[in-house]
Structure 1
Amino acid sequence: MTAPLRRVRVVGTSGSGKTTFARRLADALGVPHVELDEVFWGPGWVMRDADEARADVRARTGGGAWVADGNWATNLGDALDDAEAVVWLDYPRRVVMARVVRRSVWRGLTRRELWHGNRESLRNLVRRDPEDNIVLWAWTSYARVRQRYAALADGPGPRVVRLTSPRSARRWLSQQSRPQPRR
C-alpha cells in the first residue's frame, strides 16, 4: 500500500472545479487547504504583491502537509515546488464551460463573497475583455492551460495525476484517505 499524499497541487482551467475538488481532497487527507486565488487577490480585486503572496503561500504550506488549488504559474515561483503530486483536472471544454457559466451566474445573482470582500458581478459576463470576464478567460485560456500541464506531465518533476472527467475525479478522490492510526 502506498503512503497517502501529503503535499498536492490541484490545477486546471478556470471553472473546472479546482477549489471544490481541493477542499474535498484536503478533507480526505486531513490536511489544510490553501486557495491560491484567496492568497493572490486582495480587496477590490487588486492583485497582491507577488513577493508578499509567495511568502503567504509558504507560511500556509509550511506545516508539511497541504492541498493547494489554483494555477498562478507566473506569480507562484517556487513556492509549491515541494508538491508530491499535481492533480490536473483536464475536463473537456464543454464540461468546463458549462461549469464556469453556471458558477458565474450563481455568484453574480447571489453576490456571495469570495474573499476579502470580492464578489463576481453579472455585469462582468458581458464584458469583452477576458481579464474582466471569467467565462471568456476560461474559453481563451483553455488550450494554453492544457498545453502547460501536458508539458508538466511529460517532464521531470512531481507526479501528475491527470483526471479527464468528473467521474474519474470522484473515483480517484474516493481512493484517497487520511492515514489511519496504528493499533
Structure 2
Amino acid sequence: MRRILVAGISGAGKSTLARALSSRLSVPYHEMDALYFAGPGWAVDEMFPARVAEIAGSPAWIFDSFGYPEVRDLLWERADTVVWLDYPRRVVMPRILRRSLRRTLLREPVFNGNRETVAGWFRGDHPAWWAWSQHASRRAEIRRRARDPRFAPLRVLRFSSTYSSAVWLRSLRQV
C-alpha cells in the first residue's frame, strides 16, 4: 500500500483515517479540500487538477476524498488501494453535525482560512446537507467503481463499521 485513496461520504472520517495511515505507513497525506480551496472566500485553485496529477504521479501518497470529479478517475487509476469507509447515515450524520456545529460556533478555520458560517447551513452544499442528500448515490458510485474492471487490480478495503476500520488500522505495522 503506497498509493491510497480513502473514500466515503462527508463525515465518515476520511481525513482522520488518512492522517493515521500517513503516520503509520510513512506515506505523505494530501488533504483534497485544502488543495481544492486555494484561499479565503472558498476560492477554487485553478491549478487543482494539475497539482493532484503531479502528486498522483509520485510513488507514494494518500488522498482523503471521493469527491472532485475532475480528478476522480485519475486517482482511481493510479491508486493501488482504496479504503472505503462505508458507514451508515446513523454514524455519519451525528459526526458531521457535531463537526460543523463546532466549526461554526468556534469559528474554526478550515481549508486555507475559510470558515463555516451560520448562513452556510442553509446552502445545499453545506457538509451536513451534502452528507444527507448524497449518502446513497455516493455509496452506489463507490460500489460501482470498486467492481469496475478498468480499475483492476485495485485493492478495495470496505469497512462498514468504525470498529472494523479501527481494528484494521491497529493491525498495520508501523513503518
TM-score for both structures, normalised by structure 2: 0.90
1:155 corresponds to which residue?
Answer: 148
Q: Greater helix percent: which structure? A: 2
2:97 corresponds to which residue?
Answer: 101
Pairwise CA distance, 1:153? 1.9
Root mean square deviation of aligned Cα: 1.5
Pairwise CA distance, 1:55? 1.4
The answer to whether structure 1 residue 45 and structure 2 residue 42 are counterparts is yes
Residues 32-85 of structure 1, C-alpha deviations (whole Å, 9 max, x = no match): 001111111122112232xx1121113334431111111224121544221001
Distance of 1:122 and 1:11 partners within structure 2: 27
1:152·1:160 contact (CA, 8 Å) conserved in 2? no
Residues 135-156 of structure 1, C-alpha deviations (whole Å, 9 max, x = no match): 1111001011000011112222
Mapping of residues 1-183 of structure 1, within 5 Å: 5-43=1-39, 44-49=41-46, 52-80=47-75, 81-125=77-121, 127=122, 129-131=123-125, 133-156=126-149, 157=151, 158-179=154-175
Q: Greater strand percent: which structure? A: 2
**Number of residue-to-residue matches in the alignment:** 170
**Following TM superposition, where does structure 1 have runs of at least 4 consecutive aligned residues deviating by more than 6 angstroms?**
none
TM-score for both structures, normalised by structure 1: 0.86
1:104·1:122 contact (CA, 8 Å) conserved in 2? no
Aligned-residue sequence identity (percent) comes to: 38
1:54·1:79 contact (CA, 8 Å) conserved in 2? no
2:66·2:72 contact (CA, 8 Å) conserved in 1? no
